[in-house]
Amino acid sequence: MNITERMNHFNVPGVSVTYFDNAEIEWNKCFGVQESGTNKAVNENTIFHACSISKMITALCVLKLAQDGVLDINKDVNEYLTAWKIPPTDFTKERCVTISDLLAHQAGFVDNDGSFMPYRHGDVIPTPSDILKGGTHYSEEARPKYVPGTEFYYSDAGYCVIAQLPEDVLGETVPQIAKRLVFDPLKLTSTFFWEIGKDSFEGVDMANCAVGHDNDGAPVEGKRAFYPNIEGAALWATANDLARVAIDIVKSYHNEGGVVLSQSMAKLMLSPYGCKCFMGLGVFLDRDKNGQPYFFSQGWGIGAQCKLQVYFENKRGIVVMTNSEPGMEQDESLVGEIILQK
């Protein structure tokens, strides 16, 4: 494909693509600029907004805590929560909400329209419990709206519940626990949760963070969007770092030296859960036209779109990150075109 032509077609200023095979990074290719109207080229160290790929990292943290015996992902989550608890409803009388339900978007939560939008300058920075209680304009009060485990609804509210767990059980935030359990062990030097109000992170070259653009290719207001639901939408990373995370999951799955998860936990993560065969724990599952299984995680927010797709049986995968919001889903955008081409 003529990548420059397709970038112009979709008004995408910058792209970073990393491909790995046999659980080793084969190459990274970069195109375009970090900000339109400048000559600052995208390079392999350029950090992009990973948006909802945040949820995969959050899931890894929770599964690691379960592996270490800190959490039981099949127990009633209310047994761990203290700052806020899931309100009792007729639905939870039939079945309690488990951590596994939350990871797989089958916990009963349905996000209201217009919720979980970017942080508005001047707002008080909310905690996960503030959002769950409905005391902000980011979401209504979180409460199950169907029997847990019986339906699938993609829910940021469910991941806000997950974010409350490490705070209530360990006194740590998601960014802190992710750094301790995932980023540091994997030596990821350019991956972090961008917390609102922070302008620097240990060891991170903040000058290499891409600027977000709208679907006309113009920089978004303030250059970057920030989300208060950190665990679900605030991850920033390079394509290479996300590939390293995916490779570690693959190595664990094959019992070949994965750092974060055990083989049994990795297999649980990549197995269909609950009422939907396309949902693992924190990742989506699918098969290609040849029947080969893969997992994927993707992000799409103000000023950015990305996706990682991993053929875990074959130990290969691809990560595509862009600094533009194309106004269409990944499979229809430049992100999908690149993955399909590869």
Q: How far is CA 252 from CA 266, 285, 287, in A?
A: 6, 17, 20
Q: How confident is the model over 303-325, as a mean pLDDT? A: 98
DSSP letter, residue 182 = I
- For residue 8, the model assigns a pLDDT of 96
What pLDDT does 276 receive? Answer: 95
pLDDT tens per residue, range 35-76: 999 999 999 999 999 999 999 999 999 999 999 999 999 999
CATH topology of domain 3-341: Beta-lactamase (3.40.710)
Domain extent listing, the chain: 3-341
List beta partners, residue 313.
Answer: none
Give the tens place of pLDDT for each residue, 215-253.
999 999 999 999 999 999 999 999 999 999 999 999 999
pLDDT confidence band for 182 (50 / 70 / 90): very high
**Mean pLDDT computed over 268-297:** 97
Selection from 182, 181, 271, 190 nearest residue 238 by Cα: 190
Cα angle for residues 95, 106, 75 (degrees, 5° grid): 50
Residue 251, φ and ψ in degrees, nearest 5: -60, -40
Sign of CA dihedral 241, 58, 298, 301: negative
This prediction's pTM? 0.97
pLDDT (0 to 100) of residue 122 = 84
- How far, CA to CA in Å, does 300 sit from each of 52, 101, 175, 211, 323? 7, 23, 20, 14, 10
Amino acid symbol at 191: T
10-24, 107-121, 296-310: segment of lowest average pLDDT: 107-121
- pLDDT of 186-218, one tens digit each? 999 999 999 998 888 988 999 999 999 999 999
Please write the tens of the pLDDT for every residue from 327-340.
Answer: 999 999 999 999 99
* Confidence grade of residue 121 (pLDDT, cut at 50, 70, 90): confident
